[in-house]
Amino acid sequence: VARVRQRFVEEGFEAALNPRPRPRGAYKLTPEMESHIVALAKNDPPKGRKRWTLRLIWSRVTPRRGRCGWCWTT
């Protein structure tokens, strides 16, 4: 609320109602990661599965400890 109020005071009504466009984040999937995912998806899925799902691929390519630097949203 404080930021909207500040923008209203400094830039006017329209600026307070319409937020500025935000720059998009950097593409976090490196070519190496992409090739690893494609190679994984081309292989047969794990035993007991008919096909690869995003969750299965994600579980194979993300580190076991800590937070990953990239991930999919479903």
The CA distance from 70 to 25, in Å, is: 12
Task: Encode pLDDT of 16-30 as tens digits.
Answer: 888 888 887 776 778
Task: Encode pLDDT of 28-68 as tens digits.
Answer: 778 888 898 999 899 999 999 999 998 898 888 876 555 55
Cα→Cα distances 41→29, 38, 62, Å: 16, 5, 14
Choose between 5 and 69: higher pLDDT. Answer: 5
Strand, coil or helix: 7: helix
The CA distance from 71 to 54, in Å, is: 10
Where does residue 67 rank: exposed (0-12), middle (13-18), buried (19+ CB within 10 A)?
exposed
**pLDDT given at position 27:** 65
Question: Which sequence spans correspond to the domains of the chain?
Answer: 29-60
**pLDDT given at position 25:** 76
**pLDDT tier at 74, thresholds 50, 70, 90:** very low
Widest CA span in the chain: 62
**pLDDT given at position 10:** 92
